[in-house]
Amino acid sequence: MDILLIVLVVIILLVLVTSVRIVPQAQAYVVERLGGYQATWSVGLHIKIPVIDKVAKRVILKEQVVDFAPQPVITKDNVTMKIDTVVFFQITDPKLYAYGVERPLMAIENLTATTLRNIIGDLELDQTLTSREIINTKMRVALDVATDPWGIKVNRVELKNIIPPAAIQDAMEKQMKAERERRESILRAEGEKTSAILVAEGNKQSVILDAEAAKTAAILRAEAQKEATIREAEGQAQAILVVQQANADGIRFLNEAKPGNAVLQLKSLEAFAKAADGKATKIIIPSEIQGIAGLVKSITEVSKEE
């Protein structure tokens, strides 16, 4: 009896221990009672009725990431390519997730593939390659609406890789190479144009500077010539003034000395001589002055004899 009692106590303890459940953080347990949905356990300590209650599904409430294999799609212009997607989703309702769809991850993968084919089918190749953000947004909205009855919320969808056919890749590479060469030619031409403009501008500035230098030099030469002419004219005027002053002084001295007629006639003779200046071939001298000239000659001869 003691052994049976001990066995019974052990069995009861095991049943009690197995009936206690602790739900960890960011998880939820879906509990069934006699095969039907009973409750959803959240974080904490829970006790289920042995044999009657059963934990049907353990659900992770954290955001999950699923990377699906590349899916073949056909564009609007009949180009076949492969695109692999990454889906970020979170379970918001454990009950719907447990009973809404069989194998939810496979359902999301198939739904992603069909939605992607529908969206890419309306786009041409170039639009597909340049419209990643638009495709991501359309897919997220479509998947979020479709998975809502399953207790799943799709937070984000990303196109991981777009793999066009090899022939298209070669054509794209050649196009990119041609575009790079075209841009290089444009940049080179713009550089040469800029260089030519700078050289022409430099030549223009040089010509302007040369013209300004020549103009300045001409002005300086003209000013120097003007200054020389002014000084020459002032010198001539000064010389004339000195000569006139000397003549005036001579006349004044003669007036003060009160010369006789002979002296005056002699001065007149000197004036005639200066007027001739050795250039005249014939000089007509008044008779009065001729007498004086003879007298002067006689005096000169007597002086020589002595």
pLDDT class of 260 with cuts at 50, 70, 90: low
- Same domain? 177 vs 236: yes
- Same domain? 127 vs 79: yes
Question: 114 lies in which domain range?
Answer: 64-164
- Same domain? 211 vs 192: yes
Residue 75, pLDDT > 80, answer yes
Residues 198-232: pLDDT tens digits? Answer: 998 988 888 888 888 888 888 988 888 888 888 88
The whole-number average pLDDT for the span 225-244 is 84
Q: Which of 86, 84, 17 is nearest to 47 (CA)?
A: 17
From its phi and psi, is residue 151 left (phi > 0), alpha (psi between -120 and 50) or beta? Answer: left
- Same domain? 264 vs 253: no
pLDDT class of 266 with cuts at 50, 70, 90: low
- Same domain? 204 vs 252: yes
Q: Which of 131, 98, 104, 105 is nearest to 116 (CA)?
A: 131
C-alpha 175/C-alpha 260 separation (Å) is 125
C-alpha 117/C-alpha 120 separation (Å) is 5
pLDDT class of 42 with cuts at 50, 70, 90: very high
CA dist 192 → 185, 187, 202, 204 (Å): 10, 9, 15, 18
Residues 84 and 67: beta-carbon distance below 8 Å: yes
The whole-number average pLDDT for the span 240-267 is 68
Give the H/E segment covering residue 85.
strand 80-91
C-alpha 91/C-alpha 42 separation (Å) is 13
- Same domain? 75 vs 160: yes
Query: Domain ends where: 119, 134, 164?
Result: 164
- As for how many domains the chain has, the answer is 4
- Residue 65's pLDDT is 94
Query: Domain ends where: 145, 164, 183?
Result: 164
Query: Is the model more confident about 83 or about 241?
Result: 83
The whole-number average pLDDT for the span 183-187 is 90
